[in-house]
Chains A and B, each alone.
Chain A
């Protein structure tokens, strides 16, 4: 049990071509990829996506171990998909069919998640927020707090590793006091986590409060009148990236 190293989509600066793309371009491309990958139904299609993923990871200069580590927290979904499919299919099909189907479904989900995780890995949290802000801007007409929401997401991403470290530290401290976190039935185990959860919430609220004060002290007063050091600038390469992913997705969906 080591929470300190859970990274869940933490930005990895490598300064690659992918990192320098406009966050909106990355959003659009991801949208195309996800819509095309979701209905993928044969092994060939999946194979091509895997090749594309390898190329993308290569271009981003992010190492595979760090990408896989970031994907660790969502692995349970993949495992769940596998287990669910194998059980539900084995009633009506042969075991071999069920197995291959479950393998296909879970690996498709896994590839999809790896693509999705590439977005926060290659985009700094505040940049991501800027991108979201710009994309969701039309919603402001309906009084939707667009800036606040994107800032919230950015801040949450920024503080995930810190909260994981805190969780790890509290667990260690309570284990030192003899806490039995891994014994008994589910109910007992859940109760055993109270000594971890209460301090964690206290810390989260205190940090949130301190961060809010520190942001105000630096003149943050919502999105109004805020400018950017590097304003979002849509360049030719961004158009290329979006068009390229649209073409690839289109070809894979409609032709293969």
Chain B
């Protein structure tokens, strides 16, 4: 039977997953995967979607032969992955993981790409050939002699992609491979994938959200939830069901569906539409929380400024988003707000007085201005959630019932139930850990909370929770400051936006006021969908306003 299958090579699916189950404990009580079956044919591009904790990482490891299933079988070209020759397996399946730093083994681009063919024991001229062609396939030839540390996130991830290709694999498995990248990096990786797929590469993309820029290239979607496949179908069918399955639909897709339903020929039919005037909600900003005057900063060892002559105001009770490309100085700027970086040139005022640079006053400033770093869950260290939440208020001098109040306040802010206090932070899910980490800063009862990429790596349901939580804090009078690459969040949720570029302020104002700045500095792929659509219409209809909100957009054209 097997022999017959092998003879007709193209009839055998490339990957055939047969009722695979997996559990991390020996008693098989909680199953990370439960009877998962599907197959992948050659040249297909599929997405396996699942929220945090759906079992998708386990599935990735099993597909890559890095983990054995407790039950069931996984066949690669008809051979059981368990008994398959190691070199043959590694020459068939290539993998790219989330964090580029954790997959790059060498200091130089070419040396790193050579790693897989070196492991295959190839002669050096063939290795050289494969290295050159793999680097070219991901459009990195111009950086082939570079050191890896000098590359951007997107470039590193393309090196990782080339590193997998160099093994001459037939199938690529990507585990959240674009999740840590900025929009530019994601677009570059996405373009490389698209090209590889058009050349016949089989691609399996495991992710918690299909990004707007790749949905038309993905042919089939499998949705995983609690270790089981709950939905399977073509990409277009998927979008009809996405909301019910708990996934966001990109605005652009929603809009095109709307056009189709209403027989609108985009953008020509909208050329003569007379837009109604939209009323913009305007907050009265009166109290000044921070005033930044002529702030400049450079790191000790470098000779160029990271921040140059920054002037900005942050008002009490507003939500301010700081946006800009990677390396524009966003993180450096916000770390000045609680004196983690000392002011070198210029001045920063907090509540009217200059912020302290040393001594006990710094501690009281840090109690008032809470700062949540990117991936704050990595900074948890206590045995219980209670201890974790007690750390900041204790440092701020809270005692006895005050301390207890503070702990409960922190927990309440992130809407976690009280029985969490006894739990061990390490044992929580990724999303819960993020909430605990944010609560551990809020428990010091700060006036102002600053968050660096609060939504990064979270699935749709936790993103919603966090956005709700931040809006609530703002409505209660706290000043909220966020840094984000997520322009949809910045435009739709915050009151004002500060846009940085190369260490200077490009624009400061309400979401509507900064739209032009966004268009002038970022590539169109990185714009919010609605902004891109409305600028398309503007090309044929000068009166059409620039928009970012989907509901506003639909109400204008209907």
Q: Which residues of B contact A173 (CB under 8 A)?
A: 371, 373, 376, 379
Check A228/B381 contact, CB under 8 A, given A211-B102, A217-B94, A219-B90: no
Residue in A10, A13, A215 whose beta carbon sits within 8 Å of that of B108 in the complex: A13
The size bracket of the interface on A is: 35 or more
Beta-carbon contact of A176 and B95 below 8 Å: no
Contact of A226 among B95, B121, B123 (CB under 8 A): B121
Is B546 part of the binding interface, using a Cβ–Cβ cutoff of 8 Å? no
A227-B66 in contact given A199-B380, A220-B115 (Cβ < 8 Å): no
Question: How many Å from the CB of B148 to the closest CB on chain A?
Answer: 9
* Total cross-chain contacts (CB, 8 A): 163
Query: A124-B108, A176-B371, A229-B128 are known contacts. Are A217 and B95 too (CB-CB below 8 A)?
Result: yes
Q: A213-B61, A229-B110 are in contact. Are A170 and B378 (CB under 8 A)?
A: yes
Query: Do the beta carbons of B381 and A217 come within 8 Å of each other?
Result: no
Inter-chain CA distance A162–B396, complex, in Å, is 31
Q: Is the CB of A169 within 8 A of B373?
A: yes
Which parts of B85-111 form the interface with A (CB within 8 Å)?
86-87, 90-91, 93-95, 97, 99, 101-103, 105-108, 110-111
What is the minimal beta-carbon distance from A148 to any residue of chain B, in angstroms? 14
A125 within 8 A of B: yes
1/0 per residue, CB under 8 A from B, across A202-217: the answer is 1100010011011111
| B440: Cβ under 8 A from any A Cβ | yes
List of B residues within 8 angstroms of A161 by Cβ? 149
Check A77 for interface membership: any CB of B closer than 8 A: no
Q: Give CA–CA (A9, B127) in the complex, Å.
A: 28
Known: A178-B367, A229-B111. A218 touches B90 (CB 8 A): yes
How would residues 36 to 65 of chain B score, 1 for a CB under 8 Å from any chain A CB and 0 otherwise? 000000000000000000000000010010
Which residue from A158, A172, A178, A207 sits with its C-beta under 8 Å from B105?
A: A158
Q: Indicate if the CB atoms of B392 and A178 lie closer than 8 Å.
A: yes
Cα–Cα, bound, A198→B383 (Å)? 11
Judged by a CB distance under 8 angstroms, whether B543 is at the interface is no
Q: Are B102 and A214 in contact, CB atoms less than 8 angstroms apart?
A: yes
> Which among B86, B108, B149, B379 has the greatest number of chain A C-beta atoms within 10 A?
B379
Tell me the residues in window 180-232 of chain A with beta carbons closer than 8 Å to chain B beta carbons.
180, 194-195, 198-199, 202-203, 207, 210-211, 213-221, 225-231
A211 to B105: give the CA distance in the assembly, Å.
8
Task: State whether the Cβ of A141 lies closer than 8 Å to any Cβ in chain B.
Answer: no
Minimum C-beta distance from B66 to chain A (A): 6
- Determine which of A162, A195, A202, A217 lies in contact with B64 in the assembled complex, contact meaning CB atoms within 8 Å: A217
Query: Provided the pairs A2-B300, A126-B106 are in contact, do residues A170 and B164 lie with their beta carbons within 8 angstroms?
Result: no
From A127, A170, A231, contact of B124 by CB (8 A): A231
Min Cβ gap A235→B in Å is: 15
Q: How far is the CB of B149 from the nearest CB of chain A, in Å? A: 7
Give which listed residue, B128, B301, B340, B376, contacts A69 with CB less than 8 A: B301
26 contacts between A and B (CB under 8 A): A2-B299, A65-B301, A69-B301, A126-B111, A158-B106, A161-B149, A170-B379, A172-B373, A173-B376, A176-B370, A176-B441, A177-B392, A177-B444, A178-B366, A178-B444, A207-B101, A210-B102, A217-B164, A218-B103, A219-B119, A219-B167, A226-B118, A228-B114, A229-B111, A229-B128, A230-B124
In the A-B complex, the 10 residue pairs with the smallest Cβ-Cβ separation, listed nearest first, are A178-B395, A219-B90, A198-B381, A219-B119, A229-B114, A214-B103, A176-B371, A210-B102, A177-B392, A217-B95
